[in-house]
Amino acid sequence: MSRNLSPVPVSLGDPGAFVDELELAIAGEQSILPLPAEDRAKAELLRTTLLAGKPIDPGVAVVVPTSGSTGTPKGAMLTARNLVASADATHQALGGPGQWLLAMPAHHIAGLQVLTRALVAGVEPYCLDLTAGFSVPAFARGAEELAQTGDRVYTALTAMQLAKAMDTLEGIDALRVFDTILVGGGAVNPQLLESALKLDINPVTTYGCSETAGGCVYDGRPLPGTEIRVEADGRILLGGPTVARGYRNPGPNVDITAFSGTWFKTTDAGFLDGDVLTVTGRLDNIINSGGLKLHPEAIEQLLLHIKGVDSACVVGVPHPRLGQMIAAAYTGWASRADILEALDDLPRWQVPKDLRRVAELPTTGPGKPDRQAVAQLFS
């Protein structure tokens, strides 16, 4: 049976309209490519790159674009089994099915999986209008409505959304409604997590990617059915029923060997302590400064522990003598002197040579720092 990949615009203002299309895809009646309705340039790039309207294996339910922070975006080919297995494992890990509030763009895997979990649970998701961004009052109204169902209540947020909601009493009260709040998209400020727990808010950090149907490791532990391996060089491999079939129309620079059966070879490094995974950083982000190599995420974690630092991104920028110079951009009220004092115990070569406070870090995808854009701040 032949089938073409159907492009489906997904609106920030009415993401609920995408639910019917997603349900048909999970039922095996179509294969879809979700596109950002409000970003015509990005949508057209995805249409062309991922061969919208062209034949595709009918076993593929959804082609989910990666964030595309570097180069041409890739599209993970996810089956209905991948999506449903992820949703079932999430409900099992969290204590059972429940109501879901969508607060992220549904064309990204994190938002799409919120809708999938609602479909699997047999409930109608409460979808926020994100046209003007994340609104705490709108979030609070949704939380109140879902609380009245008497069911378990869940949502998924970026760290920035969680921080924004925690800035007001209205937001804190809304966050307390949820049995669990999945927090992903990148490194989460440990101070933010500690504050949330003290306020009787229950965040759970997630790790995963489009290629694994979203988060498959919660608070460092694999979801039921997920397996983790770490190679000698620290590379993380994820296995299980959520792993995609591969990439749609991979380009010459795409590593198609990343998929092997039900295993996916990530570009992240980390280590296992028993069954708990710690992610130390991306292998392709490593900075080589004067012949010494560093995971920028390691310095970012130190920065995030400093009082007055809300978010941080460390990059390597070209340097005539060192090859790459370590630089850092951050948000928050901490001063340069505060940060340098807090990093005083670091080896001198690891201390950022250029440190800049910015109003907001550029991002790609929900909550992910755009390292290329940050590096340009120092060029």
- Structure confidence by residue, pLDDT tens digits, 141-152: 999 999 999 999
Tell me which residue of 270, 216, 219, 207 sits closest to 242, measured CA to CA: 216
Burial of residue 370 (CB within 10 Å: 0-12, 13-18, 19+) is middle
Residue 223 carries which DSSP code?
P
- What is the β-pairing status of strands 153-158 and 180-184? parallel
| 286-376 has the same fold as 5-278 | no
Question: pLDDT tens digits, residue range 156-195?
Answer: 999 889 999 999 999 999 999 999 999 986 778 888 999 9
Confidence of residue 69 (pLDDT cuts 50, 70, 90): very low
CA distances from 335 to 275, 305, 357 (A): 38, 14, 8
Q: What is the pLDDT of residues 232-250, one digit of tens each?
A: 989 999 999 999 999 999 8
Domain borders along the chain are 5-278, 286-376
pTM, rounded to two decimals: 0.87
pLDDT for 251-299, tens place per residue?
Answer: 888 888 999 999 999 999 999 999 999 998 888 888 988 888 888 888 9
The confidence score (pLDDT) of residue 368 equals: 76
9-56 tens-digit pLDDT: 999 999 988 999 999 999 999 999 999 999 999 999 999 999 999 999
| Cβ neighbour number for residue 275 with a 10 Å cutoff | 9
pLDDT > 70 in the chain, percent: 97
Contact 269, 213 (CB under 8 A): no
CA distance 30 to 22: 9
In this structure, what DSSP letter does residue 243 have?
-
Q: What is the mean pLDDT of residues 204-232?
A: 96
Question: Which fold would CATH assign to domain 286-376?
Answer: GMP Synthetase; Chain A, domain 3 (3.30.300)
Residue 368 · residue 186 · CB < 8 Å? yes
Is the pLDDT assigned to residue 62 strictly greater than 60?
A: yes
Question: Which of the 8 DSSP states describes residue 181?
Answer: E
For residues 188 and 155, the answer to whether their CB atoms sit within 8 Å is: no
Average pLDDT, the chain: 92
Instruction: Decide: helix, strand or coil at residue 144.
Output: helix
Q: Which string of b and e fits 51-85 if b means at least 16 CB within 10 Å? A: bbeeebeeebbbbbbbbbeeebbbbbbbbbebbbb
CA distances from 20 to 111, 125, 303, 336 (A): 15, 12, 43, 50
Cα separation, 328 vs 323, whole angstroms: 16
Res 283: pLDDT: 86
Q: Which two tokens stand for residue 292?
A: 């010494």
d(CA 55, CA 4): 4
State the average pLDDT over residues 199-219: 96
Q: Which CATH class is domain 5-278?
A: alpha beta
